[in-house]
Amino acid sequence: MTVNLDSENLGFAYRKLPYRYISHYKDGKWDAGALTEEATLHLSEASPALHYGQQGFEGLKAYRTKSGALQLFRPRMNAERLQRTALRLMMAEVPTDKFVDAVKQVVKANEGYVPPFGTGGTLYLRPLLIGVGDVIGVHAAPEYIFTVFAMPVGNYFKGGLTPTNFVVSYDYDRAAPHGTGAAKVGGNYAASLIPGELAHSRNFSDVIYLDPTTHTKIEEVGSANFFGITKDNEFVTPLSPSILPSITKYSLLWLAEHRLGMKALEGDVKISELERFAEAGACGTAAVISPIAGIQTKDEYHVFYSETEVGPVTKRLYDELTGIQFGDIEAPDGWIEKVE
């Protein structure tokens, strides 16, 4: 099946594809799960996902290689993160093999919607786990729905590899010190809507959140992790219990050290010490690597490498990461899963 995708101009928007996967958890066990053409969920009005936010989600991509093959990037890490999210919110866990199998079924069923190699487009997959059933007290749901749907996407931030600006949020946090910041739950994103809108209305790509205890250290971007390249060529990314443990970030830590020969570490990134960095970026599945031109803090607009051009180390990291994801560069063991 060939579909006209306008792959060069894809943004990050929902598109209803022919097939998605759905599985139900009831009486303590998951059913086999199946592909369906039904894109509307049916659930009890009393479902804890709706009232008390008992839900979590994931994001990963399928890539088309030069030879036309399809592959996934570290999908087992997404499965494991969804399991940690499930534990935090007392939801039923989706076993890793079931998660990966569901994702592969959705990619195969919608194969014509995976953008061609060379366009930069990918098939974005959105696994979703929600607590459902008839509950009105604040309790965990008796039943769960696990679904995976997909859509072709291009850049998340409009600039792509062109740097864009970010603004620090002082009035709003996305997560509490011992809250759910490290879990991929909708509540964190609901909390980020107002600061996100304020940022967009001032032409910033997204918000930089500070640590919720002291408001002195960078935590992450609303939709991605933060990294900086210091003036002595170290890859540094914040360490905090309330940021989302990004699979892209862990991959970049490894690549910076083992492929680029850099020192790579997680540590404190003080908002008062931005001059440490020669380059900075946002990283994530949707964001890939999005270079940061400048950050607006309370007192200054701090520019890193350039307002118009990606820095050389950020570019090398981008080439290495995307080279692996699209199958052009040899991947470390276990990073790539073929969809056959």
Residues catalogued as catalytic: 184
Rank residues 157 and 235 by Cβ distance to ligand COI and give the closer one: 157
* Rounded-to-integer distance, Cα 207 and Cα 169, Å: 6
Measured CA to CA in angstroms, residue 338 lies from 62, 66, 75, 148, 200 at distances of 9, 14, 10, 18, 37
Rank residues 12 and 30 by Cβ distance to ligand COI and give the closer one: 12
Q: Which position has the token pair 């009890």?
A: 44
Rank residues 18 and 59 by Cβ distance to ligand PLP and give the closer one: 59
244 binds, among ligand COI, ligand PLP, none (CB under 5 to 8 A by kind): ligand PLP
* Rounded-to-integer distance, Cα 240 and Cα 182, Å: 9
Of 79, 282, 286, 336, the residue at the interface with ligand COI (CB under 6 A) is 286
Output the DSSP codes for 7-37: GGG--S-----S-EEEEEEETTEE---EEES
Who's near 272: CB < 8 A, 6+ residues apart? 216
Query: Which residue from 220, 224, 195, 192 is spatially nearest to 208, judged by alpha carbons?
Result: 220
Alpha helices in the chain (DSSP H): 48-52, 75-88, 96-109, 186-190, 193-201, 247-258, 312-325
Of 54, 85, 223, 251, the residue at the interface with ligand COI (CB under 6 A) is 223
Given the rule CB under 6 A, which of 3-11, 146-154, 163-171, 282-290 is the region that contacts ligand COI? 282-290
Query: Which residues of this protein are in contact with ligand PLP, per CB under 6 A?
Result: 59, 220, 223-225, 244, 246-249, 284-285
Q: How far is the CB of 97 from ligand PLP (least distance, A)?
A: 20
Of 47, 85, 122, 285, the residue at the interface with ligand COI (CB under 6 A) is 285
Our finding on whether 127 is near ligand COI (CB under 6 A) is: no
Our finding on whether 284 is near ligand COI (CB under 6 A) is: yes
List interacting residues with ligand COI (CB under 6 A): 59, 223, 284-286
